[in-house]
Amino acid sequence: MSSSSPLPIRRREPVAHQLPAELSPILQRLYASRGLTCAEQLNLQAGALHKPVFKGMNEAVLLLVQALDEQQRILIVGDFDCDGATSSALMVHGLRAMGAQQVDYLVPNRFDYGYGLSPQVVEEAVKLGAELLITVDNGISSISGVAAARAAGMKVIVTDHHLPGDELPEADAIVNPNQHHCEFPSKNLAGVGVAFYLLLALRSSLSERGWFEQHHIRPPNMADYLDLVALGTVADVVALDGNNRVLVHQGLQRMRAGRLRPGIQALIDISGRNQTRLVASDLGFALGPRLNAVGRLDDMSMGVACLLCEDINEARRLAAQMDELNRERKAIESSMQQEALATLAKVRISDGELPSGLVLHQDDWHQGVVGLVASRIKEQYYRPVIAFAEAGEDELKGSGRSIPGVHLRDLLDAINTRHPNLIAKFGGHAMAAGLSLSKDALIPFKQAFEQMVHEWVSPELLTGEILSDGELMPAELTLELAEQLRFAGPWGQAFPEPLFDGEFRIIQQRLVGDKHLKLVLSPDEGRTVIDAIAFNVDLAIWPNAAIQKVQLVYKPDVNEWKGRCQLQLLVERLAPLS
């Protein structure tokens, strides 16, 4: 995104560390500023993973052992996003590999049932004859759904990672690192990470019991499932703490080596990504959105089916359908985003100032895409945003995105406490949340949200400053550095990809595509020449031959074209200097 004024840049401060001297000075600086200050924290081997010490884990494992002994009908109930799809596929794959003969999955359709284990979903589970019901990536707020399942005679295991409310469901076992008194050190697991740890503990218990020998089953290698874990973890934008970085790194290593399931292979192929050079951003910006598009516009069962697929041709057929849905999602999102921006432009003109928190709604918006619109508007105006869509009858469904310093779920909880019965239901994380309310509650909710955000935030939080890793000298701007940074991750949420800033002279500039600016730049008055590209520039400013110097915020990247690699700067922000 381009700017016409100097960019609000703050450079990271140097941090004391004891990282190995053999690391390059740049990597030492980058790692230390992201909280890695000793050699042990660089260990991304599988052995560095935390042990499965979860509250409720023993109870959940015992229920699963009993289910396998009795060959009960097991039903996995997932969520309709990428984390939910990978969690569902992981549980089905893993339980079948451990000898479960009757295990199936059910993903609630977003438009028919809404989020989580509802009593309506339980009715479907009853029809399927489920005896043991396992939620993945949901369930911690499904009070009535769990009660309905147990009333129908089912045992219920809740596996989730979302923050619990004041009341917990009365499940037979709950595995969630964020429930009170859970000693698991990493609270940032995605739903698929929680599911992985449950299977890990189950495999260990079955091995101790001699289950695999008794039933002539080869014990599954749990590392075989890390492609699913990596994809779901990155796509759910959870913080990449040490444990999650291990999970993602190990999954990426397997994908690059070709040890991955056909469904993920098909998603890589349809996305046009180079499998041998796959990085976390490919999972987050190419594979994940294609899976998420299915849950937003259709039925996520297609996504789970693709991830469970054993035949590459069938997987490619399903991936092609998901790719088409993703194109449709982009078109809908773009239209809604333009409408939202136009509305906000009118507010800014008429009122002179935007509120600290934004609530948006339009009658014809698509409820599957409002979260993405909220995310884009949040990036544009740098404040918490909730976008609502019609959900039939008298109901609105909203999806919110927040900024650092404003915990969105806690903020909704505070509104709910101050204004009881205003919100029908809500849940989520610090940075993203969902909620439902009646149509006539929209205006009072908007007022309450704007007031609460105003109380919670200081003006400094809404400036949207850019955090930079500093300036690179001309001699450091090399293909070798770009390659080194590419594979020095995994980078992601709370462990951000390196971002640098500096001033450059423009040698050449031209528009490519509809609104992308291709640049040839020099950091040293022409002695060094570097290619760069800025996506989605402001066409009112660019291209402009009169602008000869720019301030950039950028990432060094490797541009691959016809087997040839060269350095290219990916421009995140740019502002004219002359």
> Model confidence over 277-308: pLDDT tens digits?
999 999 999 999 999 888 878 778 999 999 99
Write down the residue that tokens 């509305």 correspond to: 343
Q: How far is Cα 295 from Cα 301, in angstroms, rounded to an integer?
A: 8
Q: Is the confidence at residue 554, as pLDDT, over 60?
A: yes
> Which numeric CATH code is attached to 9-40+466-576?
2.40.50.460
Judge whether residue 108 has pLDDT over 90.
no
Is residue 218 over pLDDT 70? yes
Distance of CA 422 to the CA centre of its chain: 29
Q: What is the mean pLDDT of residues 495-517?
A: 95
The whole-chain average pLDDT of the chain stands at 92
Task: Name the pLDDT band for 387 (thresholds 50, 70, 90).
Answer: very high
Q: Please check whether residue 280 is in contact with residue 319, taking contact to mean a CB–CB distance below 8 angstroms.
A: no
* Contact (Cβ atoms closer than 8 angstroms) between residue 83 and residue 140: no
Q: What pLDDT sits at residue 110? A: 63
Residue with tokens 């016409």: 4
Q: Which of 311-315, 363-367, 378-382 has the highest mean pLDDT?
A: 311-315
Please name the amino acid found at residue 267.
L
Could you tell me how far CA 120 lies from the centroid of its own chain?
27
pLDDT at 430: 83
Per-residue pLDDT at 349 exceeds 50: no
The answer to which of 19-23, 206-210, 301-305, 430-434 has the lowest mean pLDDT is 430-434
Mean pLDDT of 460-467: 82
- pLDDT score for 2: 44
The answer to whether domain 354-462 has CATH 3.10.310.30 is yes
Q: What is the pLDDT of residues 121-150, one digit of tens each?
A: 999 999 999 999 999 999 999 999 999 999
Find all residues with CB under 8 Å of 463, minimum gap 6, and list them.
Answer: 8, 382
What are the Cα distances from residue 110, in Å, to 366, 431, 531? 12, 21, 44
Q: How confident is the model at residue 333 (pLDDT cuts 50, 70, 90)?
A: confident
Q: What does the pLDDT look like over 259-276, one tens digit per residue?
A: 999 999 999 999 999 999
Sheet holding 103-106, edge to edge: 103-106, 74-77, 132-135, 155-159, 173-175
pTM: 0.89
State the average pLDDT over residues 313-319. 97
What is the C-alpha to C-alpha distance for residues 122 and 185, in angstroms, rounded to an integer? Answer: 33
Q: Write down the pLDDT at residue 464.
A: 77
State the pLDDT at residue 431: 86
Q: For residues 61-84, give the mean pLDDT.
A: 96
Residue 531 pLDDT exceeds 50: yes
- CA contacts within 13 A on the Cβ side of 336: 27
Q: So where are the chain's domains?
A: 9-40+466-576, 53-323, 354-462
Helix (H, G, I), strand (E, B) or coil at 65: helix
Residue 143 in contact with residue 119, Cβ under 8 Å?
Answer: no
Which phi and psi angles does 417 have, rounded to 5°? Answer: -70, -40
Distance (Å, whole) CA 173 – CA 146: 11
For residue range 337-346, what is the model confidence (pLDDT) as tens digits? 888 888 777 6
Answer whether CATH 3.90.1640.30 is correct for domain 53-323: yes
Whether the domain at 9-40+466-576 and the domain at 53-323 fall into the same CATH topology: no
Residue 351, pLDDT score: 52
Question: Per-residue pLDDT tens for 402-425?
Answer: 998 899 989 999 999 999 989 998
